[in-house]
Structure 1
Amino acid sequence: MGDLLINLLASVIAGAAVWLAQFAIRRRRLERERAFFGLTAGATSLLVASRHASSPREESIHRRDVAALVELATIVRECGARADLVGGGQPVHELGRVAEFCVGGPGANPRAGTHLRAVLHGLSYTVYEWPAHGDGAKLAFSVGGQEYVHTPETGYAVLARFWGPADGRPVLYLGGLTAGGNLATARYLANHHRELFRRFGADRPFCLVLRIREPAAYGTDLTEIVADVSDVAFTAPPAPEGLQE
Structure 2
Amino acid sequence: MTDDVRNIVLGVIAAGVSATLGWFTRSYLWRRRLRRKQAFFGLPENSECLLVVNRDPGTDGAVHRHDVFALLELSSIVKDCSAHVQILSHDVGRQGYGEHAEFCVGGPGSNRRTAAHLATLLPGVRINTDPEPGEDRAAFQLGSDRYRLETGVAEYVLLARLTGSQDSRPVFLFCGQRAIANQAATRYLARNHEKLARRHRTHSFVLLLKVVNSQAYGPDVVEVIGDVTRTAQTPPPAPDPETD
CA RMSD, 1 decimal: 1.7
Equivalent residue for 2:44, pick from 40, 43, 52: 40
Taking the aligned partners of 2:153 and 2:50, their CA distance within structure 1 comes to 33
Aligned-residue sequence identity (percent) comes to: 36
Cα deviation code 1:124-144 (max 9, x no counterpart): 11134445xx8xx82211112
Deviation at 1:227, TM superposition (A): 1.3
Cα deviation code 1:147-196 (max 9, x no counterpart): 11111311110001111258411101110111000000000000000010
SS in structure 2 at match of 1:164: coil
TM-score by length of 2: 0.92
Higher-strand-fraction structure:
1
Q: 1:234 is matched with which residue? A: 233
Q: 1:100 is matched with which residue? A: 102
Structure 1 residue ranges (4+ consecutive) displaced by more than 4 angstroms after TM superposition: none
Deviation at 1:221, TM superposition (A): 1.5
The structure with the larger Rg is 2
Report the more deviating stretch, 20-29 or 103-112. 20-29
SS in structure 1 at match of 2:234: coil
Q: Which runs of 5+ in 1 are unaligned?
A: none
Q: 1:214 is matched with which residue? A: 213
SS in structure 2 at match of 1:53: coil
Deviation at 1:92, TM superposition (A): 4.0
TM-score by length of 1: 0.92
Alignment pair present for 1:3 and 2:7: yes
SS in structure 2 at match of 1:31: helix
Matches within 5 A, 1:49-64: 49-57=53-61, 60-64=62-66
Matches within 5 A, 1:132-147: 138-147=137-146
Taking the aligned partners of 2:242 and 2:9, their CA distance within structure 1 comes to 86
Taking the aligned partners of 1:166 and 1:229, their CA distance within structure 2 comes to 20
Equivalent residue for 1:115, pick from 94, 117, 140: 117
Deviation at 1:209, TM superposition (A): 0.2
Taking the aligned partners of 1:69 and 1:42, their CA distance within structure 2 comes to 19
SS in structure 2 at match of 1:169: coil
Taking the aligned partners of 1:138 and 1:216, their CA distance within structure 2 comes to 19
SS in structure 2 at match of 1:124: strand
Taking the aligned partners of 1:185 and 1:43, their CA distance within structure 2 comes to 24
Q: Which runs of 5+ in 2 are unaligned?
A: none
Query: Is the CA contact 1:144–1:229 (under 8 Å) kept in the aligned structure 2?
Result: no
SS in structure 2 at match of 1:90: coil
Equivalent residue for 1:79, pick from 81, 84, 87: 81
